[in-house]
Structure 1
Amino acid sequence: PQEGGEPGPPLWIFPLRKLTPPLTRNSPDYKTDGFQPSDEECREILEYLDGPSFKVLSEHHTPTDSYVILHDESTPWGIPGSPELRAVHVSRNQENRTFTADSTDPPLYPMAESWLLARGCPPDALPDLDVRAAADEITRALETRVRRDGGRFAQVDRYVGDGFDQPETVVLLRSVDPKVHPEYRVLLERHDQETGTHTLREGGFATREQAMEWWSAWEDGEAPPLPPVASAAQRVATPAAPAAPGPSTIRPPRR
């Protein structure tokens, strides 16, 4: 209330994004007590990721390394479509008492796991989240493949659309090996708020233009079914525009 007891202006002038899934746990502990950062960049990374908005979803620690997946609770007030996840790897040098730190913000949970596995996290070391229930066997199998084959594809674009009644995340990938067809893949994750489950589906596109045509239809809420990867591989690929090295500026879905 303002002075005099009158109600003040509303705290939030924009609608809050739905946090999907609602996975807040404890604050992170990167096991760096008694260690010094190896350089200023590592110091800044952990100072930022030690903020109150970051909560641990899953973690695994060894005497030399920490592998952590975080949920960023500040994303409702950030840029629409931004990922809510952070994967963090901290490596400790016991002899020199120093540490290095690196992180990324993947749009999908199995992509966070894949990033950590590529940095030495033992398979199956990260605990399963009981609130992240796959709706079917197709989802479980595809998530296993995303974790395993993360290094085979580069991320071109992403949008975490958790402001919808049924939150959706869409990711555009490009094969690192240009001989792999279809060269472009779209991953679509959908959450069912009523059942607390999610599905993950994959589509294959011979060119970036074809993938972006589907994406534009998705933005308008009129996306056709994702084309099966096998059928896309049978189509003759035409020259594609170079993929961006990271997420580009796709406008938010018009829904």
Structure 2
Amino acid sequence: MSNALDFRLDEFEPADVDSEYAEQRFWSGDLTVLAEHHTTPNGSHSYVVAHDGSVTWGVPGEPQVAAIKVARDLSLNTFTFESTYHATVSFAQNWLIEQGCPPERINRVGEDFMKPADDLTVRIEQQIRESGARYEVLDNQTSDFDPCETWTLTRDSNAAQSPIRVFLEEGDYDAHTYTMREGAFADEDAARHWLDDRSSPLPQPPEYRGEAAALRTRAALTRSAGASSIPKAGLNARGTPSAGTAQRPSPRRSM
């Protein structure tokens, strides 16, 4: 994937004034492609995630990741543009997937950009990408400098408890990696207070605690099952394992 922006609009004309303006704005901007997909074989649509460097010179805190959909009318040789801005790549990908882009075609980001620092980051980003209309974005903010972070304030329609969710992305320029974390709050005021204060850790969603407890339970059951599966008959009078038991592989630990 090249970082150069190419909407493949040769011989196509804008279908309306808005699309003409969008084409001019994006061509004259400072866009770096992060992920893209162009439909084949007919080339009727293009989906692009790009970083808009021109935003850094505008209003502080504005989102810098553009999600762009181009639709071509092959019979009329015209095109239309749709675009939105997001604080993070995963929310931009989510929007494009909702616009019809195949998820597997827009998920991969170029090799030159920051990488997820851990498995939890990968999991949360996948959760956002595949969430459909689950998260209503209430606000977001982007910081280029110290701290290097973005946050997206959302309302989770699937959450039975603490429905206000904050997705905090923090970058490490030295390591060329970033982390994404999810925080849960009872209401918007509590979330905004945390974002302003930061004197306590980001509160984990209730379902995380449930998942952790389930993992501990499964691990305990696995260890218990492994210990009890050694038959008592396999021990001789001196407590030494029989030949068959000695060769039996040890139980696997639950991951």
Which TM bucket (shorter chain)? Answer: 0.7 to 0.9
Which of 206, 209, 213 is the matching residue for 1:230? 206
Note if 1:57 corresponds to 2:34.
Answer: yes
Counterpart CA distance in 2 for 1:146 and 1:129 is: 19
Q: Deviations over 1:201-254 (max 9, x none)?
A: 00111111211111221xxxx3411111117999xxxxxxxxxxxxxxxxxxxx
Higher normalized helix content (fraction of residues):
2
Relative contact order: is structure 1 or structure 2 higher (C-alpha 8 Å, sep ≥ 6)? 1
Q: CA, structure 1 residues 41+144, in 2 after alignment: closer, same or farther (shift >3 Å)?
A: same
| Equivalent position SS for 2:126 | helix
| Equivalent position SS for 2:87 | coil
Which of 149, 156, 163 is the matching residue for 2:131? 149
Q: CA, structure 1 residues 50+102, in 2 after alignment: closer, same or farther (shift >3 Å)?
A: same
Q: CA, structure 1 residues 60+213, in 2 after alignment: closer, same or farther (shift >3 Å)?
A: same
The ranges of structure 1 where at least 4 consecutive aligned residues each deviate by more than 6 angstroms after the TM superposition are: 231-234
Which of 178, 183, 204 is the matching residue for 1:198? 178
Note if 1:35 corresponds to 2:16.
Answer: no
Name the structure 2 match of 1:209. Answer: 189
Counterpart CA distance in 1 for 2:199 and 2:23 is: 40
Q: CA, structure 1 residues 207+52, in 2 after alignment: closer, same or farther (shift >3 Å)?
A: closer
| Identical counterparts, % of pairs | 33
TM-score, length-scaled by structure 1 = 0.74
Counterpart CA distance in 1 for 2:50 and 2:32 is: 5
Q: CA, structure 1 residues 181+98, in 2 after alignment: closer, same or farther (shift >3 Å)?
A: farther
- Structure 2 unaligned blocks of 5 or more: 211-255
- Structure 1 unaligned blocks of 5 or more: 1-23, 235-255
| Equivalent position SS for 1:121 | coil
- What are the equivalent positions in structure 2 for 1:123-142 lying under 5 Å apart? 123-126=103-106, 127-130=108-111, 131-142=113-124
> Based on CA coordinates, which of the two structures has the bigger radius of gyration?
2
Matched residue pairs, number?
204
| Equivalent position SS for 1:99 | strand
- What are the equivalent positions in structure 2 for 1:1-255 lying under 5 Å apart? 25-26=3-4, 28-62=5-39, 63-126=43-106, 127-130=108-111, 131-164=113-146, 166-176=147-157, 180-217=160-197, 222-230=198-206
C-alpha contact (below 8 Å) 2:34/2:49 kept by paired residues: yes
C-alpha contact (below 8 Å) 1:206/1:232 kept by paired residues: no
